[in-house]
Amino acid sequence: MSIVESSSKVTTRLKGSVLGALFRSRPAKLGGLLLLAFFIIIIAGTFLTPYNPYENTPDVNAPPSFAHPFGTDNVGHDLFSQVVFGAYSSMYVGLVSAIGSSIIGVVVGTLAGYYRRLEGILTGTGDIILTFPAFPLLILLGSMYPPTDELLIALLILVLWAPIARAVRSQVLSLKERPYVDSARTGGMKDRQIIVQILMPQVVSIAVAYFVLSVAAAVVLVTSLEFLGVGNPDIVSWGSILYWAQQFAFYLGDWWWVLGPGLSITLVALGFALIGFSIEEVMNPRLRV
């Protein structure tokens, strides 16, 4: 049995145990349940709720009830329909920007870890982004152009790829010193083959962990931007619901206006975060409790 073969066997066994450990981990299970419940509620809500999110129902400032599970705001918008409606754009932005930044992060991180010549420029760029106060930059860029979902995705990718690249790079740095990489090289494998066939499969789990965490981070960031009024507050989104709540809810005493939408955002982000941190913990045995 060649060394490369045995190393890939080790990887498969490790993967099996990672998945197994993940299914046994309580935080990951809780996160999975939260997300499952969320997706069911959103999909069911889309078909079941009788209100248009922009419709002014006659019930104004109504506390939560059967007709309005999250209550209504000062002009009678049904807050539950607004949360359900807003979920689609938040999920779209969160998932696409997380996919984009994971791909860039893995490619840049692997290259920076493997080729010494590229290390300086790639890690330098990443470090600059990491030490740049990202949120003021996002506000500025988001307020300059009409902030469509696609612009927000591009902005988030700009910020979120750097931590992924950093984690992948440190993983690759330690992986490439392993004896089987040396023997693969002496055995005549080209750099590109080593990267694609040996190194990349082994950074997949850390990349998946960061992907899931990036979804949570992206959702929180986008909601925060919308909350500040970057973009159009008249378009219903998770952030804009709370933007209007900030203007009127305290004064009117509509506690439900803050509670329902805010809790929905937090629980979704928590679901992704629990899964992401669990994968990372399982992957990094030194962190295992």
- Least Cα distance to 171 among 210, 139, 223, 221 occurs for 210
What's the rounded Cα separation, in Å, for the pair 253 and 241?
Answer: 16
Q: How far is CA 71 from CA 85, 254, 261, in A?
A: 15, 9, 10
What's the rounded Cα separation, in Å, for the pair 289 and 280?
Answer: 12
Task: Note whether 173 binds another protein by CB under 8 A.
Answer: no
| Torsion of the alpha carbons at 94, 151, 259 and 65, rounded to the nearest 10 | -90
Q: Judged by CB, which is closer to another protein: 173, or 258?
A: 258
Q: Which amino acid is at 266?
A: T
Which of 90, 214, 223, 237 is in the footprint of another protein by CB under 8 A? 223
Positive or negative, the CA dihedral 268, 271, 275, 281 is positive
Q: Which amino acid is at 130?
A: L
CB 278 within 8 Å of CB 31: yes
Q: How far is the CB of 273 from another protein (least distance, A)?
A: 4
Which of 50, 58, 136, 179 is in the footprint of another protein by CB under 8 A? 136
What's the rounded Cα separation, in Å, for the pair 70 and 52?
Answer: 14
- Contact region with another protein (CB under 8 A), list: 15-23, 92-100, 175-183, 251-259: 251-259
Task: Note whether 148 binds another protein by CB under 8 A.
Answer: no
Which of 62, 98, 265, 283 is in the footprint of another protein by CB under 8 A? 265
Q: Judged by CB, which is closer to another protein: 99, or 270?
A: 270
- Contact region with another protein (CB under 8 A), list: 11-19, 82-90, 190-198, 252-260: 252-260
Task: Note whether 155 binds another protein by CB under 8 A.
Answer: no
Give the residues lining the site for another protein (CB under 8 A).
Answer: 27, 124, 127-128, 130-137, 139-141, 143-145, 216, 220, 223-224, 227-230, 242, 245-246, 250, 253, 255, 258, 262, 265-266, 269-270, 272-274, 277, 286-287, 289
